[in-house]
Every structure is written in C-alpha cells, then in structure tokens.
Amino acid sequence: MGHNQESHPESHFRVPAIVDALQEMHLTSKFRGSEVIELQNFEPASVDDIASVHARAYVSGLEKAMDQASEKGLIFIDSSGPTYATATTYRESIVAAGAGLALVDSVVAASKISRDPPTGFALIRPPGHHAVPQGPMGFCVFGNVAIAARYAQRVHGLKRVFIIDFDVHHGNGTNDAFYDDPDIFFLSIHQDGSYPGTGKFDEVGSGAGEGTTLNLPLPGGSGDTTMRTVFDEVIVPCAQRFKPDIILVSAGYDGHVLDPLANLQYTTGTYYTLASNIKQLSKELCGGRCVFFLEGGYNLKSLSYSVADTFRALLGDPSLASEFDDPNILYEEPSTKVKQAIQRIKSIHSL
C-alpha cells in the first residue's frame, strides 16, 4: 500500500476496491471454502527472477533509488511518462512479481494431481506489461507476466508459454521481452492509437520468433461483439496451433466502457465471457494451467465488478454483469472497421 500517489489513476485504492467487491459478493475463501485458495507467505521474486527479463543495472538502480524516494516521498522513474516510486516501491514490486511466481508453482502442482486444477489470479500492483527490459514505463515497474513466463520455463520446464494481453493498451514491455523467442507466443488485443503507440499489425516478432507475436489494434468503440469474434477467430486458432504448456493472461480492465483512460466499450459481461473462454481453452490445451495477472483498470467500480465477474467465471458461477452493466450507455460498434482489422490479422498470421 506504500506505492501510492493519491491523484494518480494507478493508486493504492485499486486492489482494496477489488477485495471489498469479492468479499461483498461472497467470492473469497471465507465464503467459498476450498473453492477459493488464497496463497499466504510466498517469497518475493529474487533478483535472478527479475533479471531473467530486466537488465540487472535497472534492478539495482531502482533499489538504490529508494533512498532518494525516502527523502523526497515520491520520485518519477520513467522519462517518457508518469511512473512514480515511493520508498517502498522496490520491495512492493518484487512482492508483486513473487505473487505471480507462487501462483505458477501452485497451479503447476495442482495440475499434476487434478484434471481440473484451479486457475490463478494475481491481484497485484504495480502492474507490469509496459515495463521494458531496460526500465519502467507507463505505471509499470517490473514485467510480472514476463517474469512468470521465464520462471515457468526455467523452474517447471514448461517450454511453450502463451500470453494473452487484453488490457486496452499494448503490452509493449512483454512484446519486447520475447520478440525473437519462438517458445513464447505474445498476443495483444488493444485500442488502436492508444498509449504507448506500439503494437501495430506488422509487429509479428523477428528472427526465430517471427510469427509468435500477434498484435491486433482495434478501432475505438469496439466492444463485446468484437471481443467474442476476436476470441473465436484469432485467439483460439493461434493457441491451438501453438500448443502451449501454460497460458498467462495480462488482465487489464481499462477497456471497460466506464474506464476513463481509453474508449473501447467492453462491459462487465465481456470480462466474464473472456475469463470463462480462456479457462476452457487452458483445459483443452495445457491441462488447465492458467494464471491471470492484474494490469490496468482505473474506474474503481467497473474494475472491481469486472474482476468479481471474472472470479465468477473461473468458479463456474453465473454472471452478475446484468446487475451492473447499463446497455443504454453503449453505442454501435464500428463493425466494418473491426471486420477489416480481423481479416487483416488473419491474413498476416495465416489463420
């Protein structure tokens, strides 16, 4: 909770808002018993874990910068945007990354004894998918998903990792970390023209990794119908062809129609469907091994309700999205532009 700037969209109110909603809707272990397992007492990520993705000079530099942050209370650590640090940021960032690694351990262990292991969800911040190998960016400090992908390979021998990033912004950090790696497939669906301006159709990977990066920029106004089509026509065939050993998800909730930082019009129901479909895909392709990682989402209400509906999907409960979503605020999706975008990506990737 120490990593916080009050007026900043990525403030320390985000995770407590989610936890409150989960408790209110009886989605915690207190109400669900062994259906919801909360991991306690896990280790922070080690420097070696972080350095599997990030330059060691950045990791040690951030640790040293904590003295300066202690003196000033708050410092900015990202030259291109508003990524801040406080005296506890380094510690909290290695704990956040460590939570992801503990979930990978837990899901992998469960998959050895059950055909239907639980899905992991890391309710963590600061988020990670913009953090590039050389440093922080776009509210993100360490690439939590990227670090978990390398860990799954190194520690568990899960060679092929499929990463789905449905945050409204392009996960440029994850993209860059694995751009030439044929064993990690990075698939990002984001709003065209949004921060940080990367993630174009033709960014498909390089060298041995050519074809294992897929970027689908969607036109503003895309919503639930678009995402359903993208899942069926892009995500599923890509995953089936890649044959992953584990699926990791950069779960950003800032594509919600109520979110202030972009203008897609996903609904709470969109996230329910996505989570349900991803869980099913992981059961079909990789023994149910799947971990979600919280990324963006800055309207506390839509964020917390959408994560709660994600939990419902993962638990096999019916959606309560209709109690929260207001169909009257939605407008017509740009179906012609969407169709063109989907056709283009299918042609580039031979889907």
Burial of 55 (0-12, 13-18, 19+ CB in 10 A): middle
Please give the DSSP secondary-structure letter assigned to residue 115.
S
d(CA 313, CA 119): 11
State the catalytic residue, choosing from 3, 54, 129, 130: 130
Specify whether 170 is catalytic. no
d(CA 168, CA 299): 13
d(CA 256, CA 263): 8
Distance between alpha carbon 134 and the CA centroid of its chain, in Å? Answer: 20
Angle 20-24-29 (CA atoms, 0-180°, nearest 5)? 85
d(CA 259, CA 266): 10
Cross-strand pairs, 132: 135
> Cβ distance 223 to 178 under 8 Å?
no
Catalytic residues: 130
